[in-house]
């Protein structure tokens, strides 16, 4: 998504073409002249009115904005989902999109209720943004209903996690599981981690500040996570650290495929986010104060912790122990 336009030659027309912002341009038969016209075209002011243009072009414009004004993790969150939408409807025009397009899109996947919600949110957010920015005159999916998220958080015990580790043999996937369990990092953080983000001296990952955000995102490492990180930095000094046995970086799709096959085989449902939530729950149960837990998880607003992990209030043993501490 948001790729740099590049001319291509169409044999049937015996001419060079390029698509810029959803509009196709004939650059002529001669390659050198075609590239000169292409460079002149790229220097012209961008015409961003896309009300009758390709929806893919609109998605590209939206992603350019997200990449410039939001955190890298946010950009990747939208890019991953919207690219799938663009692949589903490559020829759809901005004025022709309807709620049923989005619904048919998510129904193709074996998704949880929360995942379906996130996919629908991504395309609706793109269209809402385009309307506010003036790229389109109306939003055909403005009133599309978005399902509520699953309220129940899946939390695993140490015994359940130990069982999970017995289900996989390749060290590359085990490294990713252990690091998530030990740090509570977001999947977007581990999957894009590179050696340049690693501060071994202080046992942490440091992700740079992005436009529109304040402060660095820092992930502190346990002894196990530090050992794994050290080993991967030596193995992959360039590019992503967490890779499969073929040296290809793990992606959301490839990780979810692993968990999906496990669910089909055993009936047990795991995810990297569930491991992150489990880390937070265990940290709170161990008595680490909520503000510290929130900071370690990368939450800017500590109140989010009380909303997401309110299930602890339904644990009689935990609440009784806290009550005794308060009375003592």
- Express each pLDDT in 143-198 by its tens digit: 999 987 665 567 899 999 999 999 999 999 999 999 999 999 999 899 999 999 99
Residue 250 burial class via C-beta count within 10 angstroms: exposed 0-12, middle 13-18, buried 19 and up: buried
Phi, psi at 195, each rounded to 5°: -60, -35
Q: Own/partner pairs for 139-142, CB < 8 Å, 24+ apart? A: 140/95, 140/96, 140/97, 140/98, 141/97, 141/98, 141/99, 141/102
- First-to-final CA distance of the chain: 58
Distance separating alpha carbons of residues 319 and 75, to the nearest angstrom: 39
Per-residue pLDDT tens, the chain, 328 aa: give them. Answer: 445 678 878 776 677 878 776 566 778 888 888 788 877 777 765 554 444 578 999 999 999 999 888 877 788 889 989 999 999 999 999 999 999 999 999 999 877 787 889 999 999 999 999 999 988 989 999 999 998 766 556 789 999 999 999 999 999 999 999 999 999 999 989 999 999 999 999 999 999 865 445 578 899 999 999 999 999 999 999 999 999 999 999 998 889 889 989 999 999 989 999 999 999 888 888 888 888 888 888 877 666 555 555 555 455 665 556 445 545 5
DSSP alpha helices (H): ranges in the chain? 31-43, 55-69, 72-88, 99-107, 113-133, 158-165, 171-183, 187-192, 223-235, 252-266, 272-285, 290-297, 303-308, 316-327
Contact present, 70 and 63 (Cβ < 8 Å): no
Find tokens 């990713």 and name the residue.
176
Q: Which two tokens stand for residue 15?
A: 């001419």
Could you report the per-residue pLDDT of 129-144, keeping only the tens digit for each?
999 998 898 999 999 9
Interhelix angle 171-183/272-285, nearest 10 degrees: 40
Question: pTM for this structure?
Answer: 0.60
């Amino acid at each position: 998504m948001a790729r740099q336009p590049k001319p291509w030659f169409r044999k049937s027309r015996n001419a060079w073409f390029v698509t810029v912002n959803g509009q196709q341009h004939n650059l002529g038969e001669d390659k050198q002249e075609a590239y000169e016209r292409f460079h002149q075209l790229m220097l012209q002011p961008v015409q961003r009115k896309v009300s009758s243009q390709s929806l893919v072009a609109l998605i590209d414009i939206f992603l350019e904005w997200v990449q410039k004004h939001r955190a890298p993790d946010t950009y990747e969150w939208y890019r991953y989902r919207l690219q799938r939408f663009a692949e589903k409807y490559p020829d759809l025009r901005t004025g022709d999109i309807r709620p049923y397009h989005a619904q048919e899109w998510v129904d193709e996947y074996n998704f949880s209720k929360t995942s379906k919600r996130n996919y629908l949110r991504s395309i609706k957010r793109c269209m809402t943004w385009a309307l506010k920015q003036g790229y389109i005159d109306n939003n055909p999916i403005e009133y599309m209903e978005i399902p509520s998220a699953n309220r129940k958080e899946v939390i695993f015990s140490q015994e359940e996690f130990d069982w999970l580790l017995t289900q996989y043999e390749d060290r590359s996937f085990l490294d990713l599981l252990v690091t998530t369990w030990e740090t509570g990092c977001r999947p977007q953080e581990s999957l894009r981690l590179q050696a340049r983000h690693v501060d071994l001296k202080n046992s942490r990952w440091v992700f740079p500040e992005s436009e529109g955000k304040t402060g660095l995102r820092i992930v502190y490492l346990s002894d196990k996570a530090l050992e794994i990180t050290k080993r991967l930095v030596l193995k992959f000094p360039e590019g992503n650290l967490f890779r499969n046995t073929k040296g290809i970086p793990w992606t959301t799709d490839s990780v979810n495929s692993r968990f999906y096959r496990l669910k089909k085989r055993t009936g047990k449902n795991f995810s990297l986010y569930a491991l992150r939530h489990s880390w937070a729950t265990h940290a709170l149960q161990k008595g680490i104060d909520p503000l510290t837990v929130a900071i370690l998880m990368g939450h800017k607003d500590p109140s989010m912790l009380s909303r997401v992990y309110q299930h602890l209030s339904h644990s009689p043993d935990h609440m009784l122990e806290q009550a005794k501490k308060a009375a003592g």
